[in-house]
Amino acid sequence: MIVKYIKYVVYLAIPLFLSGCNNDKPLIGKREAIDGITYNGMKLSPISNIKISAKYYPKLNNNLKMIWHKSISRKPILSNIVTDNKNLYTIDSQGYLNCIDKYTGKTVYKQFITNSLYGTISINNGIVYIGTNTNEVVAFDTNNRKILWKKKFNRAIKGIPICIKNKVIVNTVNNCTYALNKNNGNVIWSYSLGEENITILSSSSTPVLYKNSVICTYSSGDVISLNIDDGSANWSTVLIPNYMYNSGAGLLQSVTKPIIIGDKVLVSNTNSMMALLDAETGTKIWEKKIGTISNPVIVNNKWIFIISDNNVLCIDFNNGNIQWKLDLTKLYKDKKSCKDCFWYGPVLINNQLWIFCNNAEVFKLNLSDGKLIEKQYIHHVLHSDTPVIDNNIMFAQVYGRIYALQ
């Protein structure tokens, strides 16, 4: 395992060292047009003849250009990015909160938060909420640049702390959910499923709000709706099949953030199940043996797009049936070149599905049939996670650097 990790770090570091991250070099390599494929706006779905509309999703220049890049750490950044009107925020590997002007890349300030190997963050009304693997939740005021409060738990934080209706909802690695007073961090209520012996190998995800409830998914496979006022359970169901749960195999899987679509909620885990539930009652509308490592993209409440086992899938929202499938490994003539590829996304940009690969390639797919529109290579940028799109700027974290592309 250690040897594999070292090989991956070297794989990331050598291209950056050789490139020198020089602004004088072109960011975009040759754009590779795909024979026989043209793209002239939206097409009709070949399955149900329904036009897919994505007009509210972000748009970027097809020929991406780097507007700035910045090094904030010599080690990988193990935190998500959040933004407000002016700045972006992320936690570096030394436990500092970095506030960076998102338009210029200049550091506004750095604030030490905690000795943490990783952190997850959210922002609400100028307050950044940070969860750490050192068992803390921290509230930081971005205007006064002060820590408002810290709350210590007996286990590491999993998922992103979310401020909902004057409460900060937090999940811990041992499948507990806490509601904290947003002003002082005091516990208002808690809910526990009980600790599992191997739960540290998996994860609970970020909770989401539905009416007066929060819907949480846990590493045990449980999906539970909790009353936001007192933490009582409205309903619960199990996503992982019984045979996997009883064998312990399900406990090794991470779960993605629930997605609310109208009065329904979509839940999934890494390699076994995806289900659409009634958000009011928890009743399963459909359940499929489809796993995904990243949050799905929903288009017009009709289509679900995910990456699953090196495939991009288009799934019918109403019944869970697969409409089309693209094997990403078949986009390479040389099979060896995709042996160590990791796929991130999908992200809906310019009415296309953009798939990011850690070898610095971006694949752009037609929504209606999954055909490849074009492939681009972004020099220097080996993606380490799904990029964040804000105000038509794409922010990508790579090793210890942040890139802004437009």
Average pLDDT, the chain: 77
Q: Which of 235, 75, 215 is nearest to 159 (CA)?
A: 215
For the stretch 250-298, pLDDT in tens is 444 456 778 888 899 998 876 678 899 999 999 999 999 888 877 788 8
pLDDT above 90 covers a percentage of the chain that reads 33
The per-residue pLDDT for 323 is 93
Bigger pLDDT: 222 vs 20:
222
Amino acid identity, residue 118? Y
Strand pairing partners for 318? none
Lowest mean pLDDT, pick from 40-44, 338-342, 364-368:
40-44
The per-residue pLDDT for 28 is 36
The per-residue pLDDT for 401 is 85
The per-residue pLDDT for 382 is 58
For the stretch 1-12, pLDDT in tens is 444 444 443 333
pTM over cut 0.85? no
The per-residue pLDDT for 57 is 59
Residue 362 and residue 12: Cα distance in Å, rounded? 17
Residue 363 and residue 333: Cα distance in Å, rounded? 15
Give yes or no for residue 38 having a pLDDT over 50.
no
pLDDT confidence tier of residue 17, bands split at 50, 70 and 90: very low
Bigger pLDDT: 252 vs 311:
311
Bigger pLDDT: 156 vs 153:
153
Bigger pLDDT: 33 vs 111:
111
The per-residue pLDDT for 7 is 43
Report residue 358: phi and psi, to 5°: -70, -5
Listed as own residue / partner, the contacts of 276-279 with beta carbons closer than 8 Å and 24 or more positions apart are 276/317, 276/320, 277/223, 277/237, 279/210, 279/211, 279/215, 279/225
DSSP-derived secondary structure letter, 256 = P
For the stretch 162-198, pLDDT in tens is 999 899 999 888 889 999 999 999 999 999 886 655 4
Q: Count of CB atoms within 10 A of residue 184's CB?
A: 10
The per-residue pLDDT for 5 is 42
Give yes or no for residue 148 having a pLDDT over 90.
yes
